[in-house]
Amino acid sequence: MTAATSADTHCPYCALQCAMRLDPASGAAPGRPTEVAVTPRDFPTNRGGLCQKGWTSARVLTAPDRLTVPLVRDAQGELAPSSWDEALDVVATRLREIQDRHGREAVAVFGGGGLTNEKAYTLGKFARTVLATPNIDYNGRFCMSSAAAAATRAFGVDRGLPFPLADLGGADAVLLLGSNVAETMPPAVQHLAGARAAGGLVVVDPRRSATAALADDGQGAHLQPVPGTDLVVLLALLHIVWAEGLDDAAYVAERTSGAEAVRRAVSQWWPERAETVCGVPAAQLRRVARLLAAASPSRGGRGAYVLTGRGVEQSTQGTATVTAAIALALVLGLPGRVGSGYGAITGQGNGQGGREHGQKADQLPGYRRIDDDGARRHVAAVWGVAPESLPGSGRPAVELLHALGTADGPRALLVHGSNLVVSAPNATRVTENLRSLDLLVVSDVVPSETALLADVVLPVTQWAEEEGTMTSLEGRVIRRRRALDPPGEARSELWVLAELARRLGSPVTLETDPAEVFDELARASAGGVADYAGLSHERLDADEAGGGPGLYWPVPSADHPGTPRLFLTGFPTPDGRARMIPVDHVGPSDDVRAEAPVHLVTGRVLQHYQSGAQTRRVPELAAALDGAYVELHPLLADRLGIVEGAAVRVTSRRGDAVAPARLTGRIRPDTVFMPFHWAGEGSVNRVTSDATDPVSGMPEFKVCAVDVAPAAEPA
């Protein structure tokens, strides 16, 4: 194996994309895999900081069970080592047989928010040209779809943060709903210091999370609503702003439309009524509304931000909740002003770029709609195919997973960068559907729970072994660089997809050099909402070499400086105004009742990431937290006869999970919390709801009704 080299790159985990440097590790034992050492780099997002996951990220590169050769399930039902030729021939032959027998739509593709822009783009191109199937979606549907839907219809564009993250530092107030950044992306907390110092950090969360504790220590406010009622909190804040004359009337008149309909809709949500639904005291709601208004530019404040995260978005009313958050920001006159605005905290490393360039069921590269004739003509010309040959919109993620193996659903699934057995809602049903397929092919770096179900497993490269680009939560396009060779026979997905295309007889060219793929992506995105036309690997490298912090899309030409802040001169809507849309609270799809009287909420912990397929293989992180747990209030535990450390069974209509009890006063007495990083009996996604938001297709991960009881056997 070639020795490691030094490289400036970015962390493989969340969308903060902390900058780091990789250098050859000293003192590696002979015969061990080549290792690299991680040191943080100064960068506007992380400012030289890393979290535990970032510091230990290189350990995943040398995981003992790293996939290094293709595996094909043999006649005895076991996954056995294979050559690449054999494995790819098996995949191509069976894909062709399935499509000949059942039609093009019988093959589906499921991608991931951790893929580079180049791989995400190629995966979408492969699905729509080589396979000619509409059925492609990705796990970003579980992450950003509600925020994306709401932002697109309000602003005409979806970029998680339409401003640099560092802008938050100058604000007097930040309202943060449903995001525990202190544990999910710790280096971001430093950007909240200004609001904390001004006493203006407000966190909305049913738990007193690490982030809520930052606001609840005299530096702001922690609102602790009944799970599933965040929308009511926002409707009440809107009511108060208008009722007390705290709105920026001139901004609303000049830069928005639809305000009067929203004003009428929120008139019924006076704070005392809202308190009876959401549980947040009316006096606290008034204090927060006044705090935000005082911080707004129209009242002489240094600025205010409204930010949303998965806690309020992963709901059947997630799009409505974000719509109300945007309306609050607009009524206060925040979006489009330097130092103020609305934004959504993107979770996955390339959750932003992954949805911009073709992994979503209804989108083409450049964030173009697949049902737009002009978009289809443009992208088809870049791809060298006829526009009419491109399939239409496919099924969004949850609907796609429900259809697997059914009479009119896909019979084959290709999975790239996703561990559905752990990460999908109602995971037991998803697992059964995966087992029912005629063909399951998984490309991964480790034998995840989903890979272990596959008929064919393809070993692929990971972050430090490949070149490419990522797009951070701010829309900043940054470079990922290779520091070492992949182990064994692991190959890039770019090569895998090109080889499959060749075996399937496709006339469409799939490039394998990441720089060339990016150049094609730039052409395909030209003129789109997410326009990368002026970018290239060469330009991004030159920018960083010159001390630049990366470039923010849209970048429509090679001489364009990028767009760090959107909306300064208007909104990309037909009339240039932001659209305000009335919404109302209807509650969770699976609300508490006699047989399920407790709310369940889920989330992440400091040491682990997403399905845990990577972080559970890092010894330091596994030692710090080696399994799931059930967090519950001592009052609830006493009523149920549960003691600290005892096994607890959490049961919903869909299934159950068992894990040890953790008693804490930082959660509501009517609520339990479980992290979602584990498989097996502690897998909380066996319990979560797969009901979806009617606009975005986002599943309702974050709240459902459960019964909680001592488990008969220890966890």
The enclosing H or E element of 693 equals: none
What confidence tens digit (pLDDT) does each residue in 522-535 have? 999 999 999 999 99
Tally the residues of the chain. 715
- pTM equals 0.96
Instruction: Find the distance separating the first CA and the last CA of the chain, reported in whole Å.
Output: 42
* Predicted local confidence at residue 549, as pLDDT: 84
What confidence tens digit (pLDDT) does each residue in 335-367 have? 999 999 999 998 888 989 988 998 999 999 999
* Predicted local confidence at residue 712, as pLDDT: 82
* Predicted local confidence at residue 426, as pLDDT: 95
- The token duo for 93 is 């032959």
Q: What CATH class has 598-710?
A: mainly beta
Domain spans in the chain, listed from the N-terminal domain onward:
7-62, 71-143+350-552, 145-340, 598-710
- What fold is seen in the domain 7-62? N-terminal domain of TfIIb (2.20.25)
Pairwise CA distance, residues 652 & 310, whole Å: 21
Residue 458 pLDDT grade (very low, low, confident, very high; cuts 50, 70, 90):
very high
Block residue for tokens 């498989």: 679
Q: State phi, psi for 203 to the nearest 5 degrees.
A: -115, 130
Pairwise CA distance, residues 249 & 245, whole Å: 9
* Pairing mode, strands 79-81 and 468-471: unpaired
* Predicted local confidence at residue 713, as pLDDT: 60
* Residue 697 DSSP symbol: -
Q: Is the CATH number 3.40.228.10 carried by domain 145-340?
A: yes
Closest CA to 310 of 300, 299, 302, 321: 321
* Predicted local confidence at residue 2, as pLDDT: 59
Closest CA to 197 of 165, 163, 169: 169
- The token duo for 584 is 């109302």
- What fold is seen in the domain 71-143+350-552? Rossmann fold (3.40.50)
Is residue 217 predicted with pLDDT exceeding 70? no
What confidence tens digit (pLDDT) does each residue in 46-97 have? 999 999 999 999 999 999 999 999 999 999 999 999 999 999 999 999 999 9
What confidence tens digit (pLDDT) does each residue in 628-649 have? 999 999 999 999 999 999 999 9
